[in-house]
Chain A
Amino acid sequence: MLETFQNRRGELVEALIEHLQLSVVSLLIAVLIAVPLGIWLTRRKKVAETAIGFTAIIQTIPSLALLGLMIPLVGIGALPATIALVLYALLPILRNTFTGLNEVDKSLIEAAQGCGMKPNQSLMRVELPLALPVIMAGIRTAMVLIVGTATLAALVGAGGLGTLILLGINRNDNYLILLGAIPAAILALLFDFLLRQMEGATATRNKTKLIAVSTVLALIIAAPLALGRTQQTDLVVAGKLGPEPEILMNMYKLLIEEETDLTVSVRPNFGETTFVWGALKSGDVDIYPEFTGTVLASLVKETPNSNDAREVYEQARDALADDGFALLEPMQFNNTYAIAIPRDYAETEGVTTISDLRSVQNDIQAGFTLEFTDREDGYPGLQQAYGLDFPSVVSMEQKLRYRAIARGDVNLVDAYATDPDIAENDLLVLEDDQQFFPPYQGAPLLKAETLEEHPEIEDALNQLGGLITDEEMSELNRRVAYGKERAYDVAEDFLEQAGLL
C-alpha cells in the first residue's frame, strides 16, 4: 500500500486536485441554480411539483448514461463531467430549499409582514435564515453525491480520483483502487466539515469564521488554476479501458514523436466504445486504437463479408473512408474470441489447432462465460463448424474461469486472444484453422482531415502494421496488468526491441 502510494504520489496529487476542482465548481453552480429556483418555486406552488419531479427523473438516469449522452453535445473533459454533476446535485438542493422555506412557521412570516417587511426583506431576514439548516442539509447531500459520482468523470477524460480507481480495477490492483477511493472519502468528509462550519458561522453571524471558510473554499477552486493545466499538444491519443489500449496509445505517441515534430498527449481509460468514438468525432481526441471487428459491428454497423482478417480490415477501412475517417494498417494480433488450453496439456497431446481437439474431446472439461455459451458465434457455432461436443461444459464468470483452469477444475476456456491472463496462466491459444471467429485486429483510427493536415503520421504508425502477435500482446498486457509495469515503459521496451526507436 505504502509502496503504491510512493510510486503514484504525483498522480495522486494531480487526481486529487482535479477531483477537488470538479466537485467544488459543480457544487457551486448547482447551488447558484437550485437555491434561487427553489425560492422561486415557493411562490409558484403549482409548478413546483413538476419541476422537482423533473430533477428527480434526471437523478434516475444512470451516471454513465448521462455522461455518454453529454459527449456528442459538449465533447469530453471537464465540461460534460461538470454538467452531469450539476444535474445530479440539483434535486437534493432544490427539494430542500423548497421544503425548508415551506416549513418556516406561517406565523413568523405573518409577523414579518405585520412588521412591514417587503417580500425580499422577509425572505432575506426571516425565511432564508430559518430554512438554512434544511437547505444546508440538501447542499451537503449533494456534495457527497458529487464527490462520489465525480469518480466516473475519469471515463470522459475529466481526470480525478476515478482515474486511479479505474486503473486499479483494470490492473487487479486493490491498493490502487484504495488509493483513489480513500482520498475520495476523506474529501467528502472534509467538504462536509467545511460546509458545517459555514452553516454554523452563518447562523451565529460570525463574520470572521465565515470569511475564513469562504477563503478556504475559494482557494480550493483557485489552486488548480494557479498550478496550471497540462500543456496543449498537437495531437491527443485516447483509448478504451484496459492495459491493451493504453500500451498501444503509448506506442502511437512514441512513434509519432520519434518520426515527426508533433507533440502527443495520451488520455487513457475512456469508458466505452461510444465514449471514445464520440470524442473522436467531436475532435477532442485525434487518434485511438480500434478493432476491425468493432468498426463493422458498432461504428458502421455492417455485417462482415468474410472471416478473413484482411478482408474484414479492408471492408472496415472502406466503410470508414466514406464517413471521413481513416483506419491505418492493422497489427498482427487478433483479439477475438479464442479457445485456450494449458500449454503443457497441449504439448503432451500435440494439440495446436481447434480441429486437433476432436481427438481428445472426451477428456475436455470446458469453462465458458455465459455469453460464449449463448452466442451464435460462440460455442453453438463452434460445435457446428468443428463438429465438436464436449462432455462437460460449465458456465462461469470471466475472471473465475481463468482461476478454474489454473486450479485444474477445467482444462479448456474461451478467451480473448490477447488477455493478460493467457500469459499469466501459461495457456495456449489454439489456432482457429476454420476461421470461425470474426477477426478483431487493432488499428489506429483517426479523422481523414487529421491525416491530410499531418500526412507524416501515416508512415509513423504504419510501422506497427503486421507487428505484434497474439502471444506478444498477451505478454505485454500481463506485464502491465500483473507485473505492475507502466504502460509507457512496456510500449517503449517493445518498440526498442523491434528496432523502431
Chain B
Amino acid sequence: MLIEFQNVSKRYDDGTLAVANLSLTVRKGEIFVLIGPSGCGKTTTMKMVNRLIDHTDGKILIDEREIYQFDIYELRRNIGYVLQQIALFPHLTVEENIAVVPDLLKWPKTKTKDRVTELMKIAGLDPVLRSKKPPELSGGQQQRVGVLRALAADPEVILMDEPFSALDPISRAQLQDDIKRLNDELGKTILFVTHDIEEAMKLGDRIALMRDGKLVIVGTPDEIRASDDPFVLDFTQHGRGEADA
C-alpha cells in the first residue's frame, strides 16, 4: 500500500496553518520517518492519514484512492495506530486490548484468540500476561501490547506517533529492533513520527525533515547526512530538535 500526499494543507478554524502545501510519497513496505522540532506539523501530517485530523486542501491518496472516499471507520480499522501515550484501555485485559480491532471487524472468536497467541509469541510476551490488566505491566511491555493492538487485524499500514518517547533507553532500543524486524519479516508500511534524530537514522528507510509545516528535505539517512542545508546540519548535529530554539 502506498500513501501519497499531493499539495496537502491543514488550516485550523482560527487561521493557523499547521501543514502547508506538502507533497510526498510513502512507498509500500518502507519505514518512513517524519521528524522535526515540536510544532513542525509532523504529527498533524500523520494523523491526517487515518483522519483523526482532516486536511483542508490538496489530496491524500491510499493506493491511488482519495481517503475521503473510504468509510472513515473502515479506513481506521485497516490502518494500525500506535500512540505516544501508549493508551491501552486500562479496564480491558492484554488479550482484550490486542483483540479490539478484530472484534470491531467481527472476527470469529477462535480466529481472534489464535491471532493473539501468535502475536504475543512474535513480540516475545509471556502468555501469563494475557489476562493481566495494562497497569500491571512494565512500560516496555505495555508499548509492545500497544504495537500488537495496531498489528492485530493485519493492516498494511501502521502509524506510529513517537511511540517510544516515554520509555527508558533499554526498552526503547529493544522495541526499535523489534519494529525493524517486524518490518523486514512482515513487510508493513510504517509511517513513524519522532523528534529523535538517532531513532530516525536507525529506523528510517527514508526520512522527511519538517519545519513550520513544510518539508525541508526528504531522503535516505545517508542523503540526510550528506546535506549541507544549515537547518539540516543544525538538526542532525544537535539532535532532538533543539534547533528550533
Q: Spell out A's residues near B (CB within 8 Å).
A: 105, 107-108, 110-118, 121, 125-126, 129-130, 203
Contact = CB atoms under 8 A, between A and B. Distances in A.
Given A107-B85, A117-B100, A203-B91, 12 more contacts: A105-B85, A107-B87, A110-B87, A111-B83, A111-B87, A111-B88, A113-B52, A115-B104, A116-B77, A116-B78, A125-B89, A129-B91
B87 A108 contact: yes
A116 to B, nearest CB: 3
Interface string B65-104: 0000000011111100101110111110000000011001
A116 B87 contact: no
B52 A108 contact: no
Given A107-B83, A107-B85, A121-B104, A114 B91 contact: no
12 contacts: A107-B84, A108-B89, A108-B90, A111-B87, A111-B88, A114-B76, A115-B76, A115-B100, A115-B149, A116-B78, A125-B89, A129-B91
A115 B87 CA distance: 11
A130 B149 CA distance: 19
Given A113-B76, A114-B50, A105 B87 contact: yes
A121 B77 CA distance: 13
Nearest to B152: A115
A308 B90 CA distance: 80
A342 to B, nearest CB: 74
Contacts of A108: 87, 89-90
Nearest to B50: A114
B199 to A, nearest CB: 21
B61 to A, nearest CB: 20
Nearest to A119: B73
Contacts of A117: 73, 100, 104
What is the size category of the interface that chain B forms with chain A?
20 to 34
Given A108-B89, A126-B89, A114 B104 contact: no
Contacts of B84: 107
B83 A115 contact: no
Interface of B: 50, 52, 73-78, 81, 83-85, 87-91, 100-101, 104, 149, 159
A117 B72 CA distance: 10
Contacts of B75: 116
B52 A110 contact: yes
Which of A111, A115, A126 is most buried by chain B, counting CB atoms within 10 A of its CB?
A: A115
A353 B52 CA distance: 91
Contacts of B159: 114
Given A107-B83, A110-B83, A111-B83, A116 B73 contact: yes
A115 B101 contact: yes
Contacts of B91: 129-130, 203
B73 A114 contact: no
A108 B81 CA distance: 12
Given A110-B52, A110-B83, A111-B83, A116 B101 contact: yes
A116 B74 contact: yes
A121 B106 CA distance: 13
A114 B100 contact: no
A111 B161 CA distance: 11
Nearest to B75: A116
Contacts of B77: 115-116
A61 to B, nearest CB: 38
A108 B146 CA distance: 12
B81 to A, nearest CB: 4
B195 to A, nearest CB: 18
Contacts of B90: 108, 130
Given A105-B87, A130-B91, A203-B91, A111 B104 contact: no
A108 B87 CA distance: 5
A203 B92 CA distance: 10
A115 B97 CA distance: 11
Contacts of A126: 89
A111 B74 contact: no
A110 B85 CA distance: 10
Contacts of A129: 91
